[in-house]
Amino acid sequence: MRFRIITNEKFEGNRKGKPSRRAEIPVNETVSGCMSKAELAQVHEIELQLAHQDRVMELTKDRKNALEAYVYEIRNKLFDKYRSYASESEREGISRSLQQTEEWLYEEGDDESEKVYAAKLDELRKLVDPIENRFKDEEARPQVIRDLLNCIVDHRMAVQSLGTSERDAVINECNKAEQWLREKTQLQDALPKNVDPVLWSYEIKRRAEALDTACRQIMRPKSSPM
């Protein structure tokens, strides 16, 4: 690149005159601050890696906090609301595992990966889930029992306008469901709370749905023969 500049040059014998003179000076042009496509791609890749590292660190911190919170939560519940639903050996085993996990968290487990914290949490859940399931099912069972009994009552009342065969069929289905519930309830009432139920709430719900389906099928209007 070349620039033209104008200089003032004084000539001898003519102090008044100051004629202009053009001069060309070569200038090298260097543009800084621009990167090639390869350099831009490399910077972008570094940014993606850093963002991924941030996400991993955040997820790892969340997993660690979740494990620590679970230890404290179950320790409190185990000797409070879950106490009747765990045997003595189960309480002792879970308490020991909770203590070991807590010590591990503050020692060699202080800086572990997300997968390690998740695996530790899964190990504890496998011990606690049976107890938690007993507790939750005990709470849910009364409502689903009422739902099944209401289903029985509703269908018995709905048969008044049916013919004899349909009415007997519906009543028979209701009687079978009622008998099943009575027998299962007697078995369940004889069990302590710290063993798995013989009458799960999901079974009662399934029985109510089966009864409703069977009775509706019986009461469905029959097509007239051609």
Q: Helix/strand/coil (H, E, C) string of the chain? A: CEEEEEEECCECCECCCCCEEEEEEECCCCCCCCCCHHHHHHHHHHHHHHHHHHHHHHHHHHHHHHHHHHHHHHHHHHCCCCHHHCCHHHHHHHHHHHHHHHHHHCCCCCCCCHHHHHHHHHHHHHHHHHHHHHHHHHHHHHHHHHHHHHHHHHHHHCCCCCCHHHHHHHHHHHHHHHHHHHHHHHHHHCCCCCCCCCCCHHHHHHHHHHHHHHHHHHHCCCCCCC
Q: Model confidence over 137-187: pLDDT tens digits?
A: 999 999 999 999 999 999 999 888 777 888 999 999 999 999 999 999 999
pLDDT score at 9? 47
Both tokens of 90, joined, read 């189960």
Domain that holds residue 122: 47-129
Please give the mean pLDDT across all residues of the chain: 84
Q: How many structural domains comprise the chain? A: 2
pLDDT score at 30? 52
- Determine what percent of the chain is predicted with pLDDT higher than 90: 60
* Residue 119 belongs to domain with CATH number: 1.20.1270.10
pLDDT of residue 2 exceeding 70:
no
Residues 73 and 149 placed together within one structural domain of the fold: no
Q: Pick the last residue of a domain from 72, 98, 129.
A: 129
Residues 213 and 182 placed together within one structural domain of the fold: yes
Q: Model confidence over 40-80: pLDDT tens digits?
A: 777 767 777 767 666 767 788 889 999 999 999 999 999 99
Residues 55 and 123 placed together within one structural domain of the fold: yes
Residues 149 and 202 placed together within one structural domain of the fold: yes
